[in-house]
Amino acid sequence: MKFLDEAKIFLKSGDGGPGACSFRREKFIEYGGPDGGNGGRGGHVVVEAVEGLNTLIDFRYRQHFKAQTGGSGAGRDRSGGAGEDLVIRVPVGTVVLAEDKETALADLTEVGQRIVLARGGDGGFGNAHYKTSTNRAPRRADPGWPGEELWVWLRLKLIADAGLVGLPNAGKSTFLAAVSRARPKIADYPFTTLHPNLGVVGLDEREFVIADIPGLIEGAHEGAGLGDRFLGHVERCGALLHLVDGTQEDPGAAYRTVRHELEAYGAVLAGKTELVALNKIDALDEAEQAERLAALQAACGRRPFAISGATGQGVRELLRALWQAIQADREAETEAEERRAGIEPAAWRP
């Protein structure tokens, strides 16, 4: 299955059904009067987050969605049936944007969450609706109201607890394969991951999800390489794990390059808790390792972890620190939600 995290689609809700112009015609009833029913409402267009989907690939082959038109009114005061709603199923984590790609219409972060994006048109009135004491035989029947139509963008942001960032060939895919059951492409020649990968990490009877995104290069925020379009997948993460290749000459410069791209993307990522690790230390001797760690520490301002995704050295300690950062972010988020709801934070309660 191909990975697609962005798609543009056209939505059209159902038009309302027309009302009927009809008169009652029965034997021995001289003045039957109007009996035209109203038209039915057109179907809504609804977007719903469901389980079992992790890509927007279905929307590459179908871009136009139209809900059912409402039924027409009929004689004998029969109203038309409402049009069937059209439910568009998307992965959890999908953001619905307006055509300008800036205005957010919906953010579907939970299974079963749904929102009506286009409401169906109301049905037209039949001539029975217009009957009055002074207008006993109206011949007016209205057409249904047209439905709404709009173009929207669907953008998928993966739901993960931690995100892996770094330059291409920093060892992110190797690390993800070592700590989870994910099997991203790994090879002994330079290349970059082309689409995000998710892995579930089991640690001390706990589990959390790590997202590996394609590597960043200098100028990614200006569109260089694959650009920064995949950074949206780590916006929801509680912490970032920044891997730096220990075999390169200047790990400090590599760190600053990626950090600059994160800051250029926005405060959403720049303000997240970041753990820094020097990877591939199995390929370094003690002197080289000490020199690279010192250079990286000078660049990031704190002691980095020393790990090897290939041999597992230092990985367990790094995962425990990462879990603590995720837990701290969850507690801060819970406290913020309590503040917004006017609930006294748990830390302040006696």
Q: Phi first, then psi: give them for residue 128, nearest 5 degrees.
A: -65, -25
Q: Which residues pair with 89 in a beta bridge?
A: 48
Q: Which residues pair with 244 in a beta bridge?
A: 278
* Binding residue numbers for GTP: 166-173, 191-195, 212-215, 279-282, 308-310
DSSP annotation of 129 reads G
Question: Which residue do the tokens 């027409």 mark?
Answer: 72
Question: Coil, helix or strand for 347?
Answer: helix
* Binding residue numbers for Mg(2+): 173, 193
CB contact set of 111 (below 8 Å; sequence gap of 6+): 49, 50, 51, 92
* Binding residue numbers: 166-173, 191-195, 212-215, 279-282, 308-310
Q: Residue 151's CB: how many other CB atoms inside 10 A?
A: 12
Give the Cα separation of 299 and 109 in Å (integer): 36
Radius of gyration of the chain (CA): 29
| Residue-wise burial string across 193-226, b where 16 or more C-beta atoms lie within 10 A, e elsewhere | bebbbbbebeeeeeebbbbbbbbbbbebbeeeeb
Helices H / strands E in the chain, number of each: 6, 14
Q: 322: part of which helix (H) or strand (E)? A: helix 315-340
